[in-house]
């Protein structure tokens, strides 16, 4: 069994190895409990449990609001500033920001087509002030309804975020902005249930988060 698991999980991260082990161990436990009581679970050896132990929890460092505000304020290029705001205020993924068109801009939200969640469409609620500036940017650059508002590559956008972090001497990644948005949403009173819908990949909430009020309160208060 050890050789099988090692082959199955070769080059995988520890979390993936643990998941594979857990699934296989659960299968044996199910078989024992439902019809094969004489069977022994081969996954329950000390060596296997040690090799496929649960990895330590990752303690994410959340960038504070003042730092994010300073980064956005010091970003003079309007295109870059809008992209940063959509990620930091709306919690959008970098790929989602790059895919939006003028036609996706609604009164108080942006429509995402073929989102990562697998749904046909999703709405991202963004502060109205940002959507107004986004509309002005579209008009000022004569961007057609079906054209991408930010026609740059993923690599270029990632590099832009990294350089924005250098303005305040921190190492900044796109997902740091999305994580910040989820944290700020919850601390501003958005219910955890709403946060989990808006940011399904960020379900490990920092200590101190609380749930109350509504999502409109968060988006109205963001600048």
The torsion angles phi and psi of 67, rounded to 5 degrees, stand at -65, -45
Residue-range domains of the chain with CATH: 2-51 (no CATH), 65-221 (1.10.443.10)
pLDDT of the residue at 203: 43
CA dihedral 96, 100, 105, 111 (to 10 degrees): -50
Confidence (pTM): 0.62
Exposure b/e, 186-223, CB count within 10 A at least 16 = b: bbbebbeebbeebbeebeebeeeeeeeeebeebbeebe
pLDDT, mean of each 10-residue run, the chain (223 residues): 90 91 93 91 92 80 88 95 92 90 86 75 84 94 94 95 94 89 63 49 42 39 43
CB within 8 A of 29, min separation 6: which ones?
41
Rounded to the nearest 5°, which phi and psi values hold at 50?
-70, -40
Residues 105 and 102: their CA atoms lie apart, in Å, by: 6
| CA gap 80, 63 in Å, rounded | 19
Collect all residues with Cβ–Cβ distance below 8 Å to 171 and sequence separation of at least 6: 162, 165
Q: Which helix (H) or strand (E) holds 73?
A: helix 65-74
Q: Is 39 left (phi over 0), alpha (psi -120 to 50) or beta?
A: beta
């Amino acid at each position: 069994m050890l050789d099988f698991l090692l082959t199955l999980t070769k080059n995988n991260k520890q979390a993936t190895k643990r998941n594979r082990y857990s699934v296989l161990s659960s299968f044996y436990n199910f078989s024992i409990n439902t019809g094969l009581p004489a069977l022994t679970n081969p996954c329950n050896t000390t060596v296997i449990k040690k090799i496929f132990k649960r990895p330590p929890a990752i303690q994410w460092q959340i960038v504070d609001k003042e730092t994010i505000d300073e980064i956005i304020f010091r970003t003079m290029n309007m295109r870059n500033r809008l992209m940063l705001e959509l990620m930091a205020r709306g919690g959008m993924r970098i790929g989602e920001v790059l895919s939006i068109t003028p036609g996706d801009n609604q009164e108080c939200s942006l429509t995402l087509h073929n989102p990562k969640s697998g749904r046909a469409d999703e709405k991202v609620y963004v502060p109205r002030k940002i959507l107004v500036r986004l509309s002005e940017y579209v008009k000022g650059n004569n961007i057609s309804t079906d054209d991408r508002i930010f026609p740059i590559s993923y690599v270029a956008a990632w590099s832009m975020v990294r350089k924005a972090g250098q303005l305040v001497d921190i190492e900044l990644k796109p997902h740091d902005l999305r994580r910040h948005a989820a944290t700020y949403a919850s601390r501003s009173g958005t219910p955890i249930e709403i946060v989990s819908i808006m940011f399904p990949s960020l379900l490990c909430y920092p200590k101190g988060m609380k749930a109350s009020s509504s999502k409109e309160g968060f988006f109205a208060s963001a600048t």
